Amino acid sequence: MSIHKSVLLKETIESLNLKNDSVVVDATFGGGGHSKEILKIIEKGKLIGIDADEKAIKESDLKNNERAVLVNDNFENLENILEDLKIEKVDAILADLGWSSDQLVGKGMSFQEDEQLDMRLSESQEVSAKEIVNEYEQRELERIIRDYGEEKFWKIITKRIIEYRKEKKIETTKELAGIVQKAIPERFRHTKMNLATKTFQALRIEVNQELANLEKFIPQAIERLNLGGRLAIISFHSLEDRIVKNIFRENARGCICPPDFPQCACGKKPKVAIITRKPIAPTDLEVSDNPKSRSAKLRVCEKS
């Protein structure tokens, strides 16, 4: 049974503008919370649930639902997935970029438990977090922690990791968290957020190529929508939200000719209309009930 609480559930379902016979893609199926609500509305439709985590698909109680097709794959392969299912267009697509609470268990992603340092969403992935912290060169480690973790102490953290691994390989989540926490200057250690949070985020993004996959996914999703179909994406940190916002804006632009052109020569038409000029955030009540939702942002566009 899933222990995950779906974020912005009501707002997301309403934003998809679903009909009784809609064909819908839940591109990050996870615990299936959004999918179950979608299926209540599309009584004559079809749901395609996609997740790179084998466990999410294998253990789902929707795997025997005749109106749901569950696919173990990464959403960056959306076009190929739909082609294999002989589905040309769909009416709505959802991607919740947060990690299900179920998926954090046993994958070496959290410093709350002492586990082998892994962070791979799928066992088929070759590079784990353990290989990154023990084998990557200093400059590459600095880039990951600085750019993906937005960690201001990236330089000293990387230095401490390099020093530590000269004596002993870094094996577990607690071991890495301890290295990071000791690296941060004493006067900056008194904060509600665990000091290792940003470094762990950076490594998880690198291991699973989260930002690169998101950049590949969004254009495919837009192309596969029917006219009037909607794409809803829930992000959880600024790097993801920036990508979503920028790609939405790029696809909402029409003519790109210079202003002094007497008439349009490029012929570029907007592919989408942006529904959410500002992202939808969780209510205070939801944040109180589920603190993990506090950083969530929902952006929605419609195929035009």
Residue type, 69: V
pLDDT at 129 over 60: yes
Q: Rounded mean pLDDT of 125-147?
A: 97
What integer pLDDT is reported at residue 106 of this predicted model? 77
Among candidates 24, 119, 92, 100, which has minimal Cα distance to 57?
100
CATH class of the domain whose range is 105-208: mainly alpha
Segment 274-296 mean pLDDT: 93
What does the pLDDT average to over 117-123?
A: 90
The neighbour count for residue 226, using CB atoms within 10 Å, is 14
Query: Exposed, middle or buried, 30 (CB in 10 Å: 0-12/13-18/19+)?
Result: buried
**75-89, 154-168, 175-189, 245-259: which range is least confident on average?**
245-259
Cα(22)–Cα(39) distance, rounded to whole angstroms? 10
More confident residue, 178 or 122: 178
pLDDT band at 104 (very low <50, low <70, confident <90, very high): low
Q: If you average pLDDT over residues 69-95, what whole number do you get?
A: 98
Average pLDDT over residues 224-238: 97
| First-residue to last-residue Cα distance in the chain | 39
- pLDDT-derived band at 124, boundaries 50, 70, 90: confident
Residue 3 has a pLDDT of 53
- pTM equals 0.92
Smallest Cα–Cα separation from 224: which of 97, 95, 93, 94? 93
d(C-alpha 98, C-alpha 291), whole Å = 13
By the 10 Å C-beta count (0-12 exposed, 13-18 middle, 19+ buried), 72 is classed as middle
Confidence of residue 103 (pLDDT cuts 50, 70, 90): low
- Residue 242: CB atoms within 10 A of its CB come to 12
pLDDT higher than threshold 60 for residue 2: no
* CA distance readout (Å), 260 to 257, 263, 264, 267, 280: 8, 9, 10, 16, 37
Secondary-structure percent of the chain, ordered helix, strand, coil, rounded to 5: 45, 15, 40
Could you check whether 9-102+210-303 and 105-208 share the same CATH topology?
Answer: no
pLDDT exceeds cutoff 80 at 267: no
- With cut-offs at 50, 70 and 90, classify the pLDDT of residue 300: very high
In 119-196, which residue ranges form alpha helices assigned H by DSSP? 129-135, 138-143, 154-167, 173-183
Side chain identity, residue 140:
E
Mean predicted lDDT score pLDDT of the chain = 93
Please give the full DSSP string across 264-283, using - where no structure is assigned: -SS----SEEES-SS-B---
Query: Residue 187, exposed/middle/buried by CB under 10 A (0-12, 13-18, 19+)?
Result: exposed
Confidence (pLDDT) at 1: 44
Residue linked to tokens 């690198």 = 206
Nearest to 246 by CA among 213, 268, 219, 209: 219
pLDDT digits (tens, 9 = 90+) for 194-215: 899 999 999 999 999 999 999 9
CATH architecture of the domain covering 9-102+210-303: 3-Layer(aba) Sandwich (3.40)
Give me the residue spans of the domains in the chain: 9-102+210-303, 105-208
Q: Is the predicted pLDDT of residue 147 greater than 60, yes or no?
A: yes
Q: Which of the 8 DSSP states describes residue 35? A: H
